[in-house]
Amino acid sequence: MKLRVVIEKDEEGFFTAEVPSLPGCLSQGNTEDQAIANVKEAIEGWLEVMESKRKIDKSQAVEIQV
């Protein structure tokens, strides 16, 4: 899975990482690499929570590439 992540350095020097396509999915780190590693964990957690909230019939799911 590929997701676009927006990384910015805030006023305090931390790097923030946000996933616009996953509402509320964001993280931060002291370095850009740490922010990326942290947001990967946040993405995994976000997907787990959403999947547990709504069971998807995989026979009805399709994958598309844009």
Name all domains of the chain by residue range, CATH numbers in brackets: 6-60 (3.30.160.250)
pTM over 0.95: no
pLDDT tens-digit map of 3-60? 999 999 999 999 999 999 999 999 999 999 999 999 999 999 999 998 888 776 777 7
Half-sphere exposure of 19 (CA within 13 A, CB side): 23
64 vs 22, more confident: 22
Q: So what's the pLDDT on residue 50? A: 87
Token duo for residue 38 = 């942290």
What pLDDT score does 5 carry?
A: 97
Task: Give, in order, the Cα–Cα distances in Å from 17 to each of 6, 12, 33, 57.
Answer: 6, 14, 10, 31
